[in-house]
A and B are shown apart, each in its own frame.
Chain A
């Protein structure tokens, strides 16, 4: 993979400026990370201490039991697996669907194309929000899909695809048409051009879509909650955490909720730490080729 190897020699002033910039970035990074620290440290507090609040974000004594409680009470091992499956499903589906559609919309001329595309774009903005849950659930019942994560994955892909198609089409537009022509002369069909030429060029935008759609699947809450009502074994983490809330008598165990939330946050952070380099690498490579 090509790297930017340009070695630039900085003057002392430039060095000073860069040091200041670095401090700014670091301070800002601290601000950004603080709420996350707060929840992680809070998850080790006693419930009463957590709810009392105060400026001391470190627990007076570290309560690890919150985690064992969360893990047992909330069946988090299963939830984590479900969250991963759900997010991967949404990601893979979104990548396939949106890259193909973006390619067709960019390269193919056919009657009604503008109309269809404008319907897509329209629904990117027309968001009826939570109302759409009910018809989708009814539909899932009719298709006998209301008891699996499949419906959630599919509806999630459908809900997010407009934005991703929009991004893909824009990106394919920026790929020179001469490449298609050359491939066509070599005897490639429409799909082969997509597979051999366009898809490799789409890496940067595919990386972005992968991040966004994985996250979308990971954070999907209300839909999986409804679809997994009767089957606790299919619940993702978001649903699991929220089910720790207390609607009945007595106080809620916020410390356990914090622990659950931490369990929900940590894996996805690890995924991003590991893969962001890969995604970003893809971005740079794409940029060099573009």
Chain B
């Protein structure tokens, strides 16, 4: 994993490194780092090692049976899993395409300091404080085909005919749109907040001088705001990518991966393997653990690629 992910890494320090080491503060630095190291070991490293114990086993929570490479061959032939990987990429792609520009546009508009901006900012951020299981529940009602409020509104506006309502959650062709709408609704306020933070650190003088130069709003945005926001944008993109790949709770409540397996993302599949909520099934912790590792590798790979691309762009600019 690359470490050059921060946006303001500085070039090599002017002073001799050995000199710095001898400087005071080694002990306090160690103490200050200690809590996070302990947390890291307990909450991240330990569970990760734990799951490796079971990847060669059938483990239903009661009894672990060694099965050799069976889980690996199963994964290889598990069409549902690979299908869920594709679905995850599709979902993440759709979410990112909409959520990042939307968050950016909203942040820019809020930055115009219109009347009530702070109220709007609060409203836009509101969905992100609602737990994903609850938002999934609300949207099942909103997206219902025959009696849902969304179709009702679209019908009364004359956009769709009452004879052909949109099967938001039942039509394989549009369910992804429904899931995307929900996740963009639930998440864009988050990224907007980062952009707003980033924008407030752009000095007012810069805008002032560009205004004096006669730049219009679009020019200001592309020549000043966007370049100045680039470091924030990079961080936000990375957080958004990893976030999008990890989503599953709201999808579980909204569509449960359906219709068919159309919205079955990989972490949803893994969750179901591990918690076995379907009747007549049992927890498959061993197999689920293996798939978790595979999923982690996939997400890790995406992040590495993103970082490489981001760094290439840095070199170009």
Contacts and interface: CB of A to CB of B under 8 A. Distances in A.
Q: Are chains A and B native binding partners rather than an unrelated pairing? A: yes
A158 B40 contact: yes
A126 B267 CA distance: 12
A229 interface: no
A283 interface: yes
B66 interface: no
Contacts of A126: 44, 48, 296, 299-300
Contacts of A97: 35-36, 39
A245 B86 CA distance: 32
Given A22-B114, A57-B149, A29 B120 contact: yes
Contacts of A4: 113, 204
Interface string A37-55: 0110010000000101111
B28 A29 contact: no
A104 B121 contact: no
Contacts of B40: 119-120, 123, 158, 161-162
Contacts, number: 293
Interface string B22-57: 001110110011011101101111111011000000
Interface SS of B by simple majority: helix
A163 to B, nearest CB: 7
A238 B133 contact: yes
B130 to A, nearest CB: 6
Contacts of A163: 239
B123 A29 contact: yes
B8 A173 contact: yes
A290 B198 CA distance: 11
B141 A42 contact: yes
Interface string B111-141: 0111111111111111111111111011101
B275 interface: yes
* Most chain A beta-carbon contacts within 10 A, residue among B40, B121, B271: B40
B98 to A, nearest CB: 13
A60 interface: no
A254 to B, nearest CB: 8
A97 B61 CA distance: 34
A215 B128 contact: yes
Given A105-B33, A189-B25, 13 more contacts: A25-B109, A25-B110, A28-B106, A32-B124, A35-B139, A53-B147, A101-B36, A126-B299, A128-B48, A128-B289, A134-B61, A136-B43, A163-B239
Interface of A: 4, 6, 18, 21-22, 24-26, 28-29, 32-33, 35-36, 38-39, 42, 50, 52-55, 57, 96-98, 100-101, 103-105, 108-110, 114, 116-132, 134-136, 139, 154-155, 157-159, 161-163, 165-167, 169-170, 173-174, 189-191, 194, 204-205, 208, 211-212, 215, 218-219, 221, 238, 241-242, 257, 261, 264-265, 268-269, 272-273, 276-277, 280, 283-284, 286-287, 290
18 contacts: A28-B124, A32-B123, A32-B124, A32-B189, A39-B137, A54-B149, A108-B26, A121-B3, A125-B1, A135-B51, A155-B42, A170-B7, A170-B235, A173-B8, A191-B25, A204-B197, A219-B130, A221-B133
Interface of B: 1-3, 5-10, 13, 17, 20-21, 24-26, 28-29, 32-33, 35-37, 39-40, 42-48, 50-51, 61, 106, 109-110, 112-135, 137-139, 141-142, 144, 146-149, 152-153, 156, 185, 189-190, 193-194, 196-197, 200-201, 204, 208, 231, 235, 239, 242, 246, 248-249, 267, 270-271, 274-275, 285, 288-289, 292-293, 295-296, 299-300, 303
